[in-house]
Chain A
Amino acid sequence: MKKNTFYLVVGCIAVALLGIFWYSVEVHNALLIEIAFILGIVIAYFARKNVSDLIEDERSAKISEKAALRTFQVFWVAFCAVSIGAVMNLLYVPHLPRQRIVNHTSEYFPLELMPLKMVGYIQLGLLCLMIFLYVGFRLYYARKYGEWETDEE
């Protein structure tokens, strides 16, 4: 498989995933997009293995490696901070639990606890942060190791 064909396959997978995502939202079935996403990534990996052109050498491998390492070094701090916050939230002891139970208020859990929907948004935010960090570090190291250098040739 040629390099351009591989990029075309990846583009097709992305469009298909977008469609499946839209459909799974329509039918309220999260499992559909989850399975499709994993399958899409597996197909992309297999397609990448079959590329005959050279798409990665030791310099680009080093750029990816460094960017991934730096992303991890920054991301784990943010992830731990959020996780510690979540644990604090879980261990939170409501001030007047009995009163709530006696009163039979609409909530079974104290209002101060983080709603489940919020966890999803936080996860999405963390995912965006990770992508943002990786892209940023990748651009930095690509520039450092002469990705966009030009010469007279």
Chain B
Amino acid sequence: MRNKIKVFRAMHDLTQEDLAEATGVTRQTILAIEKGKYVPSLDLAFRIARHFDVNIEEVFTYETEVRTIDID
């Protein structure tokens, strides 16, 4: 799971602390999500997206592992 929280935060001029307070989590949680260490629940993901006033897919993208096979 990839996310653009950092980009959106920069666009809205928000600190991690501000976003954490607005979404009801700790700053450490926002940091862990940004760094890809923690995948948020659907509820928190929606809250974050709503806070930035965008759709959830714009903030979070689900990526499956793509394997390429060389065919000669």
Taking beta carbons and an 8 Å cutoff, which residues of A are in contact with B?
54, 57-60, 62, 144-147, 149, 151, 153
Q: Is B44 an interface residue (CB 8 A)?
A: yes
Number of A-B contacts (CB under 8 A): 45
Chain A at the B interface: SS class = loop
Contact B26 A54 (CB under 8 A): yes
Taking beta carbons and an 8 Å cutoff, which residues of B are in contact with A?
15-16, 24-26, 28-29, 31-32, 34-35, 37-38, 40-41, 43-44
Contact A146 B32, CB 8 Å, known A54-B24, A54-B26, A58-B25 = yes
Question: In the complex, A58→B41 CA distance in Å?
Answer: 8
Contact B28 A59 (CB under 8 A): yes
Contact A57 B38 (CB under 8 A): no
Contact B15 A147 (CB under 8 A): no
Contact B40 A58 (CB under 8 A): yes
Contact A59 B38 (CB under 8 A): yes
Contact B37 A145 (CB under 8 A): yes
Most buried by B among A57, A60, A62, A147: A57
Question: In the complex, A147→B28 CA distance in Å?
Answer: 7
